[in-house]
Every structure is written in C-alpha cells, then in structure tokens.
C-alpha cells in the first residue's frame, strides 16, 4: 500500500473543511493551502476532484470557498482513499493472472484494510487533530 501525495493532500483538505463544519462556513482555497501546507495550484485541482466525487461543494465569488458536502461523520477515510486511489492494495498484473495463494492473501489483506479505514471518519480525525494540537511537548 502506498498513499499518494494527491490522496494525502485530499485528506488534509477534507480535514481543514471538517474543522469548519459546525457552522458550515466556507473556507477559501488560500486558507486551506496555508494551514495544511499544500501548494495552491495542486490544491485547486484536488478540490475539483473532491467536488466531482460529491465530497465537497463550492460557492463562487469574493466571499466564496469550499465546505464539506456532508457531515464529517458521514465521510470515512476508506471512502476517500478508494475514491482517490482506486484499490487500496494494488496487485501486479502477474499476481492477478497467476491467482496464486498469495493473490488470495493479498485480497484478504485489502479487505482488512478497508474494514479498518471505513471505521475512521473525519469527525474522528478532527477529534484526534484537536487532541494532538492540545498536547504540547516541552523539553528543557
């Protein structure tokens, strides 16, 4: 399993929008880019993809921006990763054609990953991010 930069950035953008969910406020692309450390040109392309996937919605204009299309609790990490990456565990053509015992094991592994990632939603991720933000480490 390899998580692409595109998927990482999509998840970060969704996290930023999830942090603004309670009041469903619009977040401008420049703010998401700055807070999440994502190049703005790349982020714009990712947000278009997320909009096409019906995960975010946008409003045009000076006061426009992006927001989640549904509650963070309704968006699972597994859903986002599958929509961005396709299969979570990409098998080589050889593995698919040969259908060895390992092919069956790889498919079981992917099912287990899907099960775990589908249990994690963006509300959980927001809560984890907030708890990590509050836990500062001081060294002397």
Query: How far, CA to CA in Å, does 79 sit from each of 29, 53, 133?
Result: 23, 10, 25
Whether 58 maps to a domain, the answer reads yes
Model pLDDT for residues 7-39, shown as the tens digit of each residue: 999 999 999 999 999 888 899 999 999 999 999
Q: Does residue 95 have a pLDDT over 70? A: no
Q: 52-81 pLDDT, tens per residue?
A: 999 999 999 888 999 999 999 999 999 999
pTM: 0.86
Task: With respect to residue 42, please indicate whether it lies within any of the assigned structural domains.
Answer: yes
Please check whether residue 90 lies inside any domain of the structure: yes
Residue 57 phi, psi dihedral angles, 5° rounding = -130, 155
Q: What CATH number does the domain containing 88 carry? A: 1.10.10.10
94 pLDDT band, cuts 50/70/90, is low
User: How many structural domains is the chain composed of?
Assistant: 1
Residue range of the domain that includes 91? 5-134
64 located within any domain = yes
Residue 140 lies in a domain: no
SS (H, E, C) the chain: CCCCHHHHHHHHHHHHHHHCHHHCCCECHHHHHHHHCCCHHHHHHHHHHHHHCCCEEEECCCCCEEEECCCHHHCEHHHHHHHHHCCCCCCCHHHHHHCCHHHHHHHHHHHHHHHHHHHCEHHHHHHHHHHHHHCCCCCC
**Mean of per-residue pLDDT scores for the chain:** 89
Whether 46 is covered by a domain: the verdict is yes
Residue 108, in any domain of the structure: yes
Whether residue 69 lies inside any domain: the answer is yes
């Amino acid at each position: 399993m390899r998580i692409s930069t595109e998927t990482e950035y999509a998840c970060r953008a969704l996290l930023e929008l999830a942090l603004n969910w309670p009041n469903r406020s619009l977040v401008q692309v420049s703010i998401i880019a700055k807070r999440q450390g994502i190049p703005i040109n790349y982020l714009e392309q990712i947000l278009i993809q997320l909009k096409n996937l019906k995960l975010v919605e946008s409003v045009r204009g000076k006061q426009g921006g992006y927001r989640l299309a549904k509650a963070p609790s309704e968006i699972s990490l597994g859903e986002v990763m599958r929509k961005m990456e396709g299969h979570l565990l990409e098998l080589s053509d050889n593995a698919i054609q040969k259908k060895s015992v390992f092919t069956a094991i790889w498919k079981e592994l992917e099912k287990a990953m899907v099960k775990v990632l589908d249990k994690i939603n963006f509300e959980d991720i927001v809560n984890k991010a907030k708890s990590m933000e509050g836990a500062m480490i001081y060294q002397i």
